Structure 1
Amino acid sequence: MDDIRPRVPARPVRFFDKLRLHMRDAGLAYTTERTYLHWIRRFILFHRKRHPSEMGAVDVEHFLNHLSEQRDCSAGTQRIALNALVYLYRRFLDVPLDGLSFTHAKRPRRLPVVYSRKEIAAILSHLKGAGRLRIELLYGAGLRSAELLSLRIKDIDFGSSNIYVRSGKGNKDRTTILPSALVPELKRQIERVRILHAQDIADGYGDVYLPDALARKYPKAARETAWQFLFPSSRVGPCPRTGEVRRHHLHPSALAKQIRRAVVAAGIHKPARAHAFRHSFATHLLESGYDLRTIQELLGHSDISITEIYTHVVNRGSKGVLSPMDCLSNNGEIQEEPALYAIAV
């Protein structure tokens, strides 16, 4: 249950409790809260546990230089650390950080890991039941792993063939497609969850965690089948906020292990990552002729330039260009040049 916010005292005394409360009042997503707190702790430890109020812009520059020069971190990592420290000083301590001068980490250009359609089929052949369904949803709906695991039964809309993604990256909601081929197995999974939930209630628990203040607004919702996670954990445990014994969703590490085993069993020599199925979803849609704007909406990207990276891995080789070597037969004779694959952008 490490994606549930821990409780903070109403009148906090400790520095990090005050900072947590400030972030929650500002409406930051919990993932952002955890990331910012991580880098603020790193900053404080780097300066030998000096209080942030005793430091300023020079100390921030020193830390950011350390990340790029000594730690050899990526540009993205350095940017996240900078965002955390800007929040700390400008928004929490109300201290300006103007004119920061530091060594910027190099921004490498990396292409996403994409599985071919044959590789997707090979991976799925080594899975079954709910485990296979999870990977099919990652690929078939373009979900992030956290979005998949946070799905509740009510988020599956069979009538409109939509999946509702709640509080995705950036704390935004969106809809994505529900693959019709997965409808029968999804209904079987919902029935399995319903039976498990009924057993939990019979065993003396059964309330599920509800985000924000929904538990107070809808006190009976936590025991309703519609609010149960689509992929519940195999075990129950105490909630970090209330101590109440509950069944949460499957842990991300369990999903990662399952993917790793399936990729290795399929004999695929590419990184075994849950996010690769989302990359494959976007790339295969682009290959099928769908426009970037549509793919951007399905993925939930705020900027289309993020979606444009998939044009670099679509079809054959770079940018869909056909190698002249492919126009030669085995004996060196020139073959009829096949039509180039059109990339819809």
Structure 2
Amino acid sequence: MTIVDTSKLHKKELFTRNLTKEQKNLLNNFYLFLKGKRYSQSTIKTYTFFIADFINFYRKTPLNNLTNRAVELFIENVFITRNYSISTQRQFISALKIFIVFYPHTEINDLVLERPKKSRKLPSVLSQEEVLKIISSTQNLKHRAILVLIYSCGLRISE
């Protein structure tokens, strides 16, 4: 008896694309365009993935009719529901700006497309009790001295 994990099937279902032959050809040409511009393989893969998702989302709408509002709706319906990070959304907008250069027949105005601001998360800081506990739990005297020096000088790991 074989057990099938339905959660994986459900996720795979979400990312299934039903593109026409013309849309696939457009994506292949976009891929070659990026390759010709000497983008890294990782960037090419990421940008092609985002544009494929975008085209798939509007597969019944001609690309010539897409506007900035269509981009906003795509972000609201796809990126937010999939819990993509702000940096991923910024990557999509970069990919879309390059796609507009490649395929300028759309109504999307790349000057109006703005990338969201980077999130500025504060680092988690250890309390004084936690630092004392770390220092006291260290047995090696040299390591303890290094930890005390790092903490007292406010050094970062990279320093």
1:46 aligns with 2:35: no
Residue 111 of structure 2 is aligned to residue 98 of structure 1: yes
Instruction: Note if contact 2:93-2:113 (Cα within 8 Å) is conserved in structure 1.
Output: no
TM-score when normalising by structure 1: 0.28
Read off the aligned partner of 2:103 and give its amino acid letter.
Answer: L
Residues 61 and 100, structure 1, Cα contact 8 Å, conserved in 2: no
Give the counterpart of 1:324 among 132, 141, 148. Answer: 132
Which structure dedicates a bigger proportion of its chain to helix? 2
Q: Is the alpha carbon distance of 1:68 and 1:33 closer, same or farther for their aligned partners in structure 2, counting shifts above 3 Å?
A: closer
- Deviation (angstroms), 1:36: 1.0
Contact 2:87/2:118 (8 A) holds in 1: no
Matched, 1:107 2:119: yes
Letter in 2 for 1:323: V
Matched positions, count? 119
Q: Could you tell me how far 1:48 is from its partner in structure 2? A: 3.3
- For residue 108 of structure 1, report the CA deviation from its aligned partner: 7.3
Structure-1 residue corresponding to 2:82: 71
Q: For the aligned residues, what is the CA RMSD?
A: 4.0
CA deviation vs aligned residue, 1:159-205 (integer Å, no higher than 9, x gap): xxxxxxxxxxxxxxxxxxxxxxxxxxxxxxxxxxxxxxxxxxxxxxx
The 3 A distance-change label for structure 1 pair 110 and 23 is farther
State the identity as a percent: 21
Are the counterparts in 1 of residues 47 and 95 from structure 2 also a CA contact under 8 Å?
A: yes
| Equivalent pair of 1:44/1:51 in contact (CA under 8 Å) | no
Letter in 2 for 1:92: F
In structure 2, list runs of 5 or more residues that go unmatched.
1-23, 138-143
Check the 8 A contact 1:40/1:85 in 2, yes or no.
yes
By how many angstroms is 1:39 displaced?
0.7
Deviations 1:254-298 (A, max 9, x none): xxxxxxxxxxxxxxxxxxxxxxxxxxxxxxxxxxxxxxxxxxxxx
Is the Cα–Cα contact under 8 Å of residues 23 and 33 in structure 1 kept in the other structure? yes
Moved over 6 A (4+): none
Distance 2:77 2:112 in 1: 18
Secondary structure of 1:323's aligned partner: helix
Structure number with higher relative contact order (C-alpha < 8 Å, ≥ 6 residues apart): 2
CA 1:31–1:327 in structure 2 vs 1: closer, same or farther (change >3 Å)? closer
Residue 324 of structure 1: how far off its partner (Å): 3.4
Length-normalised TM-score, structure 2:
0.55
Aligned to 1:116: none
Counterparts in 2 of 1:107 and 1:67: CA distance versus 1, 3 Å: farther
Q: 1:108 to 1:68 in 2, by over 3 A?
A: farther
Question: Which whole-Å deviations, capped at 9, do the CAs of 1:72-130 have from their partners, x for residues lacking one?
Answer: 221122122221111111x212363222369x59837498xxxxxxxxxxxxxxxxxxx
1:80 counterpart residue number: 91
Kept in 2, the 8 Å contact 1:53–1:93? The answer is no
Whether 1:340 aligns to 2:149 is yes
Question: In structure 1, what residue type is equivalent to 2:65?
Answer: E
